Structure 1
Amino acid sequence: MTTPAAILTSLKGGNALPLRPPSLVMNLERLGALHQSRLSFMRTLVRRIMKERWQITPSLFQLDQEGYGTVIYKVVAPHGVFNFVLFSNYLSPEERNDRVIATKWDLTMALVEGDVDEIYLEKLRQNVPKQEAGRLDSRVFVLSRANRSARNFEYVVDQLAQGQQPDVGKIAKVGYLYRTTAVYGSGKLGMADWEKVRNNFPDFARPFAGEMFVCFMLRNFSLLQAEHIAKNRSPKNYSSLKPAIKRYFGIGNSTGLGMAPYLVNHPLLINRWIEMRELALARVCALGYVDESIKKQFSNLIDRCTAHTSETETEDEWQTNNNATVLQDLAALKHHTSSGFKDWGHLLQWSHENCSLQGQEMLVSILLELYPGLVDELEEFHTADEHLDLDPLMPLQALKQIIETRYDWALTIDFNAEGARETCWYRSEEKMEPRLGSIADIEAKDKQMALGVGYAVRKCYNQLRAYMNEHPEHTTARFMVARPKLRGIVRRIQSMNQSTYGDIQANLLDQNILPMHLLRCKLAFFGVSKFDPRSRLWVRNTMFQGAPLLEDIGKPFNDDWFMPLAPKQQGDK
């Protein structure tokens, strides 16, 4: 099998493809401008399910007329058998809460290894609905919960019960029936840790594959449940959802600060994700042929992105302005390319000079969409060994040189400026969830997380220079004996020197830091769309909108659900 190192080499003569520099790519605002792409995890998961023809069927369907009860889907994948277990319970309006402090939900669910007998089902029934208050075992890969959309669920059920289809314009405003508020994995609450899943279960051995699968299944169940309730409510008048409208429903998601620290705490993994995306772009620029068919497809994708962005609604002024700017960028791109263009590399450079960051990164996603043959194989390289190793024999001069070259961005920040170290990232005592506070809050300061990489590098550099004034010939080992508290940041500096990307080049302690950029970056790699910030700390979005349905498995599949559009009301294909 091709190695990650080899995949970074061009098909032309073994020369490395030119990648965009980390100083440009790892800019925090640019990371917050990323969009979904062919390499996003939802897209790669669906491709595998459709290509490998996973068998996903209900093995237990015990719902009453109002949709409450238990459902189990049996999942037969190429390398194993799994079960998706879901519990639907009545939730009163006053108990419905999307925040992490909630204790009850409309739906709770788990993805588990192997078959589920009555004894194990009862164990799940006693714990899964409790979420964090419950306890699970290592057969469970993923735990999640979701609430109904107050604006859509009852409306859709009523329409179907009357024999009508829901109004597409109304659905476009909120493109889902349920919104998940948490998706847990990787060993939390006693579940299987990532190493177990990665080493023993190839079907879910890619980052967040299990979590994405649970959201995919939730989306399919939400449609089944709505139809089930409507059919029981009015058997004579009932009409099922038309397939085109059905596929337009996604699953909603609410994401807060809990996701932000991941990008900082997993630098080698983030490096790999970004590296593959940048390599895909470099391949397209170097090897992507341009003929009339590609030009037409390119123009159509611009139109699709324009329509998708126009259909995105948000009450947030900042996001509304971003969307308006993207529309201007797409119009300028359409005009610029209407009379032809030289090649993709020059067009990318034009975008850097004439478009916003979000417009530039939208173009990147469009270019990747054009060339599946150059892009799709890179999805195999999204995993990475995440060991940050200390090199005790490295001369201090070499360590100093690494900081001055790779971390030059950190050395240019004035951490003594007003507000430069104002923000404090910490974990709440009750839920152990990340929070944002002020360094003036003593309690928050005592619980703060080590997310200020730039500041840590600066302190290390200052102490390193002072130490080298007296001991220029010493190695890293001697420096660590003298400054043991710097071991963590030195390990990171040395390890990250072997990668291209991975370190976010921003001061995350600054008082004006916008966590939304961190959330947006990770969500873009997941493949979400229609970002709707509710504050600077959390965002609503839509997952799997336009994706195929369970009943589509085994049918011809062209993987064409990038930036999905609302179907025509009369569409029934």
Structure 2
Amino acid sequence: MKDDAPIPQTDLRSPDEVMRLARMGSMFPTRLSFLRSLTRRLAAEKVTVTRPVWEMSEEGFGHVVYSLTLGRHPYSLVAVSTDLPPEMRTDRVIAEAWDTSYVLYDGVPDADEIARICAAAPKQEAARFTERDLILSRANKSVRLFAHVVEALRAGRQPDEGMIRSVGYLMRTTAVYGNGKFGIADRNLIENRPGLEGPFAAEMLTVWLIRHFTHDLVEHVGRGRLDRHLKRHLGIGNATGLGMAPFLVNHPVLLNNWMTVRETALARVRAIETLDADQQARLEALAERAATHLGEWNVPDPAHQARIDTLRADWETARAGFDFSTGRPLDRAMDSVKSASLDVQELTAALIIEPFGDLVDPLAECMGDPFGPLCAPFRDVNDLRQTIEIRFGWALAPDYDTPDGCGQFWYVSEAKQEPRLGLRFDEPGAELESPLDIGRRVKALYRGLAEARGPVSDFLAEQPEYALAVSRVQMGPRYPYAEIRDNLIATSCLPIDMLRCKLSFFGASKFDPKSDRWTRITLCQGAPLADELAERADDWWLPVFGA
């Protein structure tokens, strides 16, 4: 086969199947997740992390600077640790103080810049920043685990492995801001830099370095050293709410690209004709790792824990039916779980992608959106109408006039400038609704086209309220995975499904929903430590304790 010959692949799964909230809310991280891509890049460049500044009291309050070079460009994390009164500690976005705060800095800051950041970072939204500040973040301690680790190290022993396994992080971030917020650098200043050109690469680098800091801080306060396998299992927690959910609706090209890459990776591995003995053994070992990971995934919410318990049992049934020695073994594996739960189906998809980096990793270069929508214009309103009928049947189906069909509305909180979800018939504010009701708008457009004739431009000149809907329909032919094919204002819409989809692309695991509107997760658990990138850069899918 010639080097430039097309890579074999099966048909991609239909957007009507993939772009449903229930399936998106069942997604697992893959080797294409942004954190995985980052650690591969760090390893490939043999990146080393230095600590040029450490100004920290015995109690762990002060500041520290970490520096590295990526893509021949230096970056630094400035971390600030403060003494936070217990009554001020909260994961809610209304918080005004945090245990720690961070800036990912463009370059290596001098003393004046460090002083500026140390004064500004703890204030977060109340401060203002410069374009040298690429990412702004904050995090709170997992107080019980942090205190336990400190106590154990001071006593000359290692912390309880059960607690490490149960919690999984020393701190959890409550925000990782990028792209110009509060005066930090706009994305376009760094989007073409090698190493940071991928989606959320700067944010993921920040999180990875924050994790490094939490290890150093607890060892400093505890006056001891954690065993390496315990350190590796301590990731970074994150509390994520509604602020993240509208991103997928507001960035349809990005969503399309992420999903297309994931589905293309799946189609490529499904086309593999046979597997050798090593590949079969690798898949079986990964399936076993997944089972162990599920066994270590426990959450307080009874309903979600019941879902995990069901998945554990269903996964045992599913993997017992895998036969990787047959022809088209990975295609057969996916076919074998067609009648299983969406959780099992999406875990199987992530599993079979995992061992085939040579085949799928280059696809990660296609996950950005450097150009924005590139769409062909409609010939006339009839062309527009036919496109809706062919590609937006999902939008025409719901009845948006019933209380259940439009029972919720999205808006932006004036106080925190964060997205929120209101109950249309129980709460005020529907007149401030954000335009995330894509399905309803497309259906209204379709009705408005009933008697229309001629150019689309003439139609919009007379009825400009349909402009957004027209632009979304125009994207349909070129970007088939751009739309969530559900009614996002129905009472049945669960924002947690959108959160899980996006967070899985970050590389998150161990979702811990606190409601249908916010969740805790773990990032970087099992990821290589800064001094072991060369040997462990790319084998931490669904990490398990002790690995």
User: What TM-score range do you get, normalising by the shorter chain?
Assistant: over 0.9
Alpha-carbon distance between aligned partners in 2 of 1:256 and 1:164, rounded to the nearest angstrom: 37
Q: 1:304: which partner in 2?
A: 289
> Can you list the C-alpha shifts for 1:420-457, whole angstroms capped at 9, x where unaligned?
00101111111011111122367421222111110010
Q: Matches of residues 248-263 of structure 1 in structure 2 within 5 Å? A: 248-263=233-248
Residue 565 (structure 1) aligned with residue 524 (structure 2): no
Conserved? CA contact 1:268–1:386, under 8 Å: no
Conserved? CA contact 1:341–1:347, under 8 Å: no
Alpha-carbon distance between aligned partners in 2 of 1:417 and 1:446, rounded to the nearest angstrom: 18
Q: 2:349: which partner in 1?
A: 364
Alpha-carbon distance between aligned partners in 1 of 2:302 and 2:107, rounded to the nearest angstrom: 47
> Can you list the C-alpha shifts for 1:196-238, whole angstroms capped at 9, x where unaligned?
2213x2221111111111111111110100000111xxxxxxx
Residue 36 (structure 1) aligned with residue 21 (structure 2): no
Identify if the C-alpha distance between structure 1 residues 387 and 372 changes in structure 2 by more than 3 Å, giving closer, same or farther. closer
Alpha-carbon distance between aligned partners in 2 of 1:458 and 1:274, rounded to the nearest angstrom: 24
Q: 2:432: which partner in 1?
A: 447
Give the counterpart of 2:7 among 8, 11, 26.
Answer: 11
Give the counterpart of 2:190 among 185, 197, 210.
Answer: 197
Give the counterpart of 1:527 among 504, 507, 513.
Answer: 507
Give the counterpart of 1:476 among 456, 459, 471.
Answer: 456
Alpha-carbon distance between aligned partners in 2 of 1:102 and 1:266, rounded to the nearest angstrom: 28
Q: Per the alignment, in what secondary structure is the counterpart of residue 450 of structure 2?
A: helix
Alpha-carbon distance between aligned partners in 2 of 1:452 and 1:459, rounded to the nearest angstrom: 11
Q: Matches of residues 260-339 of structure 1 in structure 2 within 5 Å? A: 260-287=245-272, 289-337=274-322
The alpha carbon displacement at 1:391 in A equals 5.8
Residue 348 (structure 1) aligned with residue 334 (structure 2): yes
Q: Per the alignment, in what secondary structure is the counterpart of residue 138 of structure 1?
A: coil
Conserved? CA contact 1:59–1:74, under 8 Å: yes
Q: Per the alignment, in what secondary structure is the counterpart of residue 55 of structure 1?
A: coil
Q: Per the alignment, in what secondary structure is the counterpart of residue 332 of structure 1?
A: helix
Alpha-carbon distance between aligned partners in 2 of 1:558 and 1:91, rounded to the nearest angstrom: 35
Conserved? CA contact 1:391–1:476, under 8 Å: no
Amino acid at match of 1:432: Q
Give the counterpart of 2:518 among 522, 538, 542.
Answer: 538
Alpha-carbon distance between aligned partners in 2 of 1:552 and 1:483, rounded to the nearest angstrom: 60
Conserved? CA contact 1:388–1:491, under 8 Å: no
Alpha-carbon distance between aligned partners in 2 of 1:478 and 1:388, rounded to the nearest angstrom: 22
Give the counterpart of 2:108 among 105, 115, 122.
Answer: 115
The alpha carbon displacement at 1:341 in A equals 4.6
Conserved? CA contact 1:388–1:492, under 8 Å: no
Conserved? CA contact 2:48–2:531, under 8 Å: no
Q: Per the alignment, in what secondary structure is the counterpart of residue 287 of structure 1?
A: coil
Between stretches 434-443 and 541-550, larger displacement belongs to 434-443
Amino acid at match of 1:488: L
Q: 1:219: which partner in 2?
A: 211
The alpha carbon displacement at 1:517 in A equals 0.3
Alpha-carbon distance between aligned partners in 2 of 1:392 and 1:371, rounded to the nearest angstrom: 39
Q: 1:142: which partner in 2?
A: 135
Conserved? CA contact 1:39–1:525, under 8 Å: yes
Residue 494 (structure 1) aligned with residue 474 (structure 2): yes
The alpha carbon displacement at 1:77 in A equals 1.6
Conserved? CA contact 1:402–1:493, under 8 Å: yes
Q: For structure 2, list consecutive stretches of 5 or more residues without a partner in the other structure.
A: none
Q: 1:401: which partner in 2?
A: 386
Alpha-carbon distance between aligned partners in 2 of 1:386 and 1:448, rounded to the nearest angstrom: 28
Residue 228 (structure 1) aligned with residue 208 (structure 2): no
CA RMSD of aligned residues (A): 1.8
The alpha carbon displacement at 1:497 in A equals 2.1
Q: 1:3: which partner in 2?
A: none
> Can you list the C-alpha shifts for 1:112-133, whole angstroms capped at 9, x where unaligned?
1122112222221221111011
Q: 1:236: which partner in 2?
A: none
> Can you list the C-alpha shifts for 1:132-156, whole angstroms capped at 9, x where unaligned?
1110111111000000002200100
> Can you list the C-alpha shifts for 1:501-528, whole angstroms capped at 9, x where unaligned?
1100000100121111000000000001
The alpha carbon displacement at 1:531 in A equals 0.6
Give the counterpart of 2:200 among 200, 208, 212.
Answer: 208
Amino acid at match of 2:150: V
Amino acid at match of 2:535: P
The alpha carbon displacement at 1:385 in A equals 3.6
Q: Per the alignment, in what secondary structure is the counterpart of residue 143 of structure 1?
A: strand
The alpha carbon displacement at 1:477 in A equals 0.9
Q: 1:244: which partner in 2?
A: 229
Give the counterpart of 2:145 among 152, 157, 171.
Answer: 152
The alpha carbon displacement at 1:294 in A equals 1.9
> Can you list the C-alpha shifts for 1:525-565, whole angstroms capped at 9, x where unaligned?
00011111111111011000011111214x43362111111
Conserved? CA contact 2:232–2:529, under 8 Å: yes
Conserved? CA contact 1:322–1:358, under 8 Å: no
Conserved? CA contact 2:333–2:348, under 8 Å: no
Alpha-carbon distance between aligned partners in 1 of 2:316 and 2:378, rounded to the nearest angstrom: 55
Amino acid at match of 2:29: Q
Q: Per the alignment, in what secondary structure is the counterpart of residue 212 of structure 2?
A: helix
Give the counterpart of 2:367 among 382, 386, 395.
Answer: 382
Q: For structure 1, list consecutive stretches of 5 or more residues without a partner in the other structure.
A: 1-5, 232-238, 569-573
Q: Matches of residues 155-170 of structure 1 in structure 2 within 5 Å? A: 155-170=148-163
Conserved? CA contact 2:380–2:456, under 8 Å: yes
Amino acid at match of 1:349: D
Identify if the C-alpha distance between structure 1 residues 567 and 459 changes in structure 2 by more than 3 Å, giving closer, same or farther. same
The alpha carbon displacement at 1:79 in A equals 2.6
> Can you list the C-alpha shifts for 1:359-413, whole angstroms capped at 9, x where unaligned?
0000011001121111111111111246346766621111111101110111111
Q: 1:556: which partner in 2?
A: 535
* Sequence identity percentage: 37
Question: TM-score w.r.t. structure 1 length?
Answer: 0.92
The alpha carbon displacement at 1:63 in A equals 0.4
Identify if the C-alpha distance between structure 1 residues 102 and 198 changes in structure 2 by more than 3 Å, giving closer, same or farther. same
Figure out how many residues of one structure are paired with residues of the other and give that number. 544
Amino acid at match of 2:351: I
Q: Per the alignment, in what secondary structure is the counterpart of residue 54 of structure 1?
A: coil
Conserved? CA contact 1:269–1:386, under 8 Å: no
